[in-house]
Amino acid sequence: MLSLLELAEALQAECQPRDSAHTTLLHRVGSARNADATSLVPQLAATVSSPGKPLLLVQQPRLAFAKAWRLLMDASNVPGVHPTAIVAASVELAEGVSIGPYAVLGEQVRIGKRTEIGAGCVLAEGVQVGEDCRLFPRVVVYAGVQLRDRVVVHAGCVLGSDGFGYVRDAETGAYTLFPQQGTLTIEEDVEIGANTTIDRGALEETRIARGTKLDNLVHIGHNVRVGRNVVIAAQTGISGSSAVGDGAVLGGQVGIGEHAAVGEGVILGGGAGVLSKKKLRGAGKIFWGRPAQPLREYLKGLAAVARLTRKTKNQL
């Protein structure tokens, strides 16, 4: 049995950027996973062009491939603080940390082992970053925000900015910012796409729980709680004080109003809209539309309108 690292090296040795042969192979193993996997070995071996190559058989081939690749990637970091980085006197850097050029770290910032802070990142006072994190260039982290271990933040993200909560003066119509002095916690293994913004809590906390993945240009409002292993596709926005349960899957451009709750394992189709204070429940249940409805009902509504349209056409 090969280790994952050996698998990775074997794959890389064979894999050219445009050569998808190995993917094909893995895919075949993947699509046959409902069959008895071991019975497939001779069949697969026959389809591989050069029979001298090792044949890898794993339960979840795409997953093994992804994990193997990650092992190879992790070797890229070169520790050290670039001479142009501005690191306040009270900053604590663990061993193996890399701080890129023109990064700025405020007082009391703490960075865990082997973490990489990219060029031009700005970490305000009291920011804490765990071990084995990677912040790509030009990430801004506001004061007091906490990132745990193995967090990946892509370029241009803004973490911990003031939430959008205003008090309207009933006499003048002018707005005053409601205090936005809460915190933001990003738990372990969270990954955040480019130019995404996550606001800090107003009086409390915004929290993204472990293992959750956010795509590019996502917006997370103040006091929002996102559970574990949630997937949120690009340009989705979650308004203040809403909650998303563990394992939920949100398509792109989804919009969630304030104080709403998306239950554990709920799936929201791309562009779906959840009204303020609305609660959606049901693991594995798919909702779609604006306002979001159970998929079947939404599709029936679309079909009903289509029939109506056809009927009108016939009458004309």
Task: List binders of its own copies among 101-140 (CB under 8 A).
Answer: 101-102, 104, 118-120, 122, 124, 136-138, 140
Choice from 39, 95, 174, 314 touching its own copies (CB under 8 A): 174
Q: How many residues does the chain have?
A: 316
Check residue 271 for interaction with its own copies (CB under 8 A).
yes
**In contact, 28 and 44? CB cutoff 8 Å:** yes
Whether a cis peptide bond, with omega within 30° of 0, leads into 291 is yes
Task: List binders of its own copies among 207-236 (CB under 8 A).
Answer: 211, 213, 215-217, 219, 221, 228-229, 231, 233-235
Check residue 306 for interaction with its own copies (CB under 8 A).
yes
Check residue 312 for interaction with its own copies (CB under 8 A).
yes
Separation CA 113–CA 135 (nearest Å): 13
Separation CA 130–CA 214 (nearest Å): 19
Q: Which residues of 201-213 are buried (b: 16+ CB within 10 A; e: fewer)?
A: bbeebbbbbbbbb
Selecting among 27, 82, 222, 259, the annotated active-site residue is 222
Per-residue tokens: 143: 């004061």
In the annotation, is 222 catalytic?
yes
Choice from 2, 37, 44, 237 touching its own copies (CB under 8 A): 237
How far does CA 266 lie from the centroid of its chain?
A: 16
Choice from 178, 278, 285, 286 touching its own copies (CB under 8 A): 178
Choice from 112, 130, 257, 263 touching its own copies (CB under 8 A): 257
How far does CA 54 lie from the centroid of its chain?
A: 34
Choice from 51, 313, 314, 315 touching its own copies (CB under 8 A): 313
Catalytic residue IDs: 222
